[in-house]
A and B are shown apart, each in its own frame.
Chain A
């Protein structure tokens, strides 16, 4: 058993499901307008962004554990990583605001649009980060 690859694979699984939650949850919330459904979806999106942040950090931690080095990325890849981190921070704050701020209908709808956009942007940046260094 290659424990290093297993660790990366488990982290990737969590990261992928986090991505599904942040984009899928926000997209579903735009379609389903019932308050209770949107509240559940807000929890899903909040959890998704948290998973994204923790699993993203775990990729670096696994590298450091096995090689005492973090991934060696520069230029475009660093920019893509920064975009992902900003998306995760904003996504988490916005989802928490949806849950606890009791927003009126219109700001709530705008928030879901922004959350959906942040998810799409984060996923697009992930592709850049994967193929550039």
Chain B
């Protein structure tokens, strides 16, 4: 019985780090993918990030060009004025060395 308890304790200890290390995830709640935006307005990017073990902060890209660095895991960011036309907006999680860890979310919008 004591051996079983010890085994359970060891297994719990091994499993704990796995449970703590949440999976990296990027959610963009606004604008929605495919949304039409007013080119004359300042549009806000509303996001929620789970950085996971390797992630540290995020880079924002508009049409492949980095436009901002985000350190808050949840919040909103005012985008630069978008020229009329189609655009791709991406948030990439990066590590402390500014290297993308491969977790990102991109949306396509049209500014009118």
Q: Check if A and B associate.
A: yes
Residues in A lying within 8 Å of B, measured CB to CB:
2, 4, 8, 59, 62-63, 66-67, 69-75, 77, 132-133
Partner of A72, one of B53, B54, B94, B96: B94
A70 to B92: give the CA distance in the assembly, Å: 14
- Decide yes or no: A63 and B99 within 8 Å by CB, A72-B92, A132-B69, A133-B59 being known contacts: yes
A71 to B92: give the CA distance in the assembly, Å: 12
- Decide yes or no: A70 and B99 within 8 Å by CB, A133-B59, A133-B69 being known contacts: yes
Q: How far is the CB of A123 from chain B (nearest CB, A)?
A: 18
Q: Is the CB of A133 within 8 A of B97?
A: no
Q: Is the CB of A69 within 8 A of B98?
A: no
In the assembled complex, which residues on chain B have CB atoms less than 8 Å from the CB atom of A69?
99-100
A4 to B92: give the CA distance in the assembly, Å: 19
Number of interface residues of B (CB under 8 A): 16
A37 to B81: give the CA distance in the assembly, Å: 59
Residues in B lying within 8 Å of A, measured CB to CB:
53-54, 59, 65-66, 69, 92, 94-102
Q: How far is the CB of B51 from chain A (nearest CB, A)?
A: 14
- Decide yes or no: A62 and B69 within 8 Å by CB, A2-B53, A4-B54, A133-B59 being known contacts: no
Q: How far is the CB of B16 from chain A (nearest CB, A)?
A: 15
Known pairs A59-B97, A71-B98, A72-B94; list 9 more (Cβ under 8 Å).
A2-B53, A63-B97, A67-B102, A71-B94, A71-B97, A72-B66, A72-B92, A72-B98, A133-B94
Q: Is the CB of B69 within 8 A of A72?
A: no
Q: Is the CB of A73 within 8 A of B98?
A: yes
In the assembled complex, which residues on chain A have CB atoms less than 8 Å from the CB atom of B94?
71-72, 133
A98 to B47: give the CA distance in the assembly, Å: 55
